Amino acid sequence: MYDGKKIYSFFTESPEPFFNAILKRKYRGYTIYAHNLSKFDIIFVFNYLAKLSFTDRFKIKPIIKDGRIISIDIRNEHGISLKFRDSYLMLTESLLKLSKTFKCEIKMMEPVLISCSDPNNQKYVQNNINHYTKEVLKIVDFLEWKKMIILYCENDSVILHQILLKFRELVFKNWGINIENYPTISSLAFAIFRKKYLKENMIPITSGKVFDFIKESFTGGATDVYKFYGENIKVYDANALYPTKMKSNKFPIGAINLFEGDITILDQENTYWIADSSVKTKNDLYYPYLQIHQKINGQKRTISPNGSWNMKIHCCEYHNSLEHYDISIRNGYYFEKGDLFSEFVDDLYKLRLSYPKGDPMNLTCKLIMNSLFGRFAMKPIITTQSFMSKKDFIKLTENTKYEIDDFLDLEANGLFVSYSDMLSKKDHKISIGIASAITAMGRVEMANMFKKKTNIHFFYIILTLIQDLLMVTYQKNLLVMN
């Protein structure tokens, strides 16, 4: 780890020495970043967090969303207070790419021990390195590898610290916002939007039955494979597809209105609607483009079927698909249409183009511009994650107010439980209709490629998002680990 002044290294199988080093008053209020913490590194410290919670009486407050650790707050009554964050959720690129973009120290090649004569150190050997997608430094001597892996991790920590300081300065300079208050790039983007661009009484807040209804239309992007082999294939990349749709279209705003039976309201030009419908393909389509979520073998899948089915459909997809589908509208919700994002996208895109590719400001604008829409689709149910004893877990399961989402048995250290309060609804100021509309408009754009009268054969198509500090002159309270 690196705290801006000194590097600390721990070659150990236990995270205890690391926690002994950081759980001190001198780091009070610090944010500890690790790149890709939520998907990888957190597993090395998770069981120890339970020990801190039970044995050492620390208050551990993790926040998890969609299986990812968003943040972990650790504090006790003796003045120790710090939080863990995953820097990858803010800067969604590899550390190697970020180091080049932010012009930091050169990232070292990862050393990998591929053989070792000492039987006591065989556990460090990787006999198969085929899973690596990058060039690695192959080493056959354990002591040499140990020295190199420590240097490699120290180098990563220093680089990440440099990147975060520069990123923090760019965000504060341009938008006056402190990145430490926002754990993800989508929450940062929403803070910028809310501060400068959000107009009063524009966002239709969705909750309860409305949220549940519209959520079924939020099927996201499309990823489909049509042919598995080809030669001389051309690859096309749409430039900022979702932001383009955000800029050039109007979205559901204002009051939420229910319609049922009488659908004449849906023909009004200034009306945006999302409806329950019966759909049938007129003929079997080689490239079907209306998509739904469906459970297959117990897992939710996104499919674009032929045949007949029911779905929640957006007005833009309805009007765009009548050539190939028979669609009967039953009921749904309608809104006024209004401009929400054109100024936001214009400003971000112009600012991005004023910097060359490879400049950190170009990347910063790109990430912020691409990440706003997902913030409108947060779930309204309060989900809590907690370390608890098995006795307390049994009590929780007996309380009908709570629903157990998942739990992890930590044996002697109790359990880590994720559960939802089914009676309380948190006011997230969410509007899933807006998020769903943006992705629906993106799907319309891609569907129009299929409808062109050409001899183009598609092999693979993907529509998805390549994706919940102090003053810039005050560069403390930031610590990174690898």
208-244: per-residue pLDDT in tens? 899 999 999 998 887 777 888 888 888 777 777 889 9
Q: What is the pLDDT of residue 125?
A: 93
Q: Are residues 243 and 389 in the same domain?
A: no
Q: Are residues 237 and 268 in the same domain?
A: yes
Residue ranges of the chain whose pLDDT lies below 70: 39-41, 43-44, 67, 262, 379-382, 422-429, 453-454, 463-482
Q: Are residues 437 and 387 in the same domain?
A: no
> Does residue 108 lie in a domain region?
no
> Does residue 78 lie in a domain region?
no
Q: What is the pLDDT of residue 44?
A: 67
Q: Is 146 helix (H, G, I), strand (E, B) or coil?
A: helix
Q: Are residues 275 and 351 in the same domain?
A: yes
> Does residue 479 lie in a domain region?
no
Q: Which residues contact 406 (CB under 8 A, 6 or more apart)?
A: 417, 418
> Does residue 70 lie in a domain region?
no
Q: Give the C-alpha separation, 27 to 479, whole Å.
A: 9
> Does residue 169 lie in a domain region?
no
Q: Are residues 458 and 397 in the same domain?
A: no
Q: What are phi and psi of 256, to 5 degrees?
A: -100, 125
Q: Give the C-alpha separation, 303 to 223, whole Å.
A: 9
Could you read off the pLDDT of 428-459 as tens digits, one per residue? Answer: 567 899 999 999 999 998 888 877 756 777 88
Query: Which has the closest alpha carbon to 179: 430, 471, 428?
Result: 471
Do 439 and 467 touch, CB atoms closer than 8 A? no
> Does residue 334 lie in a domain region?
yes
Q: What is the pLDDT of residue 466?
A: 37
Do 482 and 156 touch, CB atoms closer than 8 A? yes
Q: For the chain, how long is the longest CA-to-CA vector?
A: 79
Q: Are residues 234 and 357 in the same domain?
A: yes
Long-range contacts (CB closer than 8 Å, 24 or more residues apart) made by 7-16:
7/154, 7/157, 7/158, 9/150, 9/153, 9/154, 11/146, 11/150, 14/48, 15/44, 15/45, 15/48, 16/48
Q: Are residues 196 and 281 in the same domain?
A: yes
Q: What is the pLDDT of residue 299?
A: 80
Q: Are residues 302 and 404 in the same domain?
A: no
Q: Is the pTM of this model over 0.85?
A: no
Q: Are residues 311 and 365 in the same domain?
A: yes
Query: In angstroms, what CA-CA distances link 46 with 15, 38, 52, 69, 422?
Result: 9, 11, 10, 11, 27
Mean pLDDT taken over the chain: 86
> Does residue 294 lie in a domain region?
yes
Q: Are residues 351 and 396 in the same domain?
A: no
What's the alpha-carbon Rg for the chain, to the nearest Å? 25
Cβ neighbour number for residue 119 with a 10 Å cutoff: 7
> Does residue 2 lie in a domain region?
no
Sign, CA torsion 400/405/409/410: negative
Structural domain harbouring 421: 381-425
Q: Are residues 455 and 388 in the same domain?
A: no
Do 18 and 1 touch, CB atoms closer than 8 A? yes
Q: Are residues 285 and 348 in the same domain?
A: yes
Domain count for the chain:
2
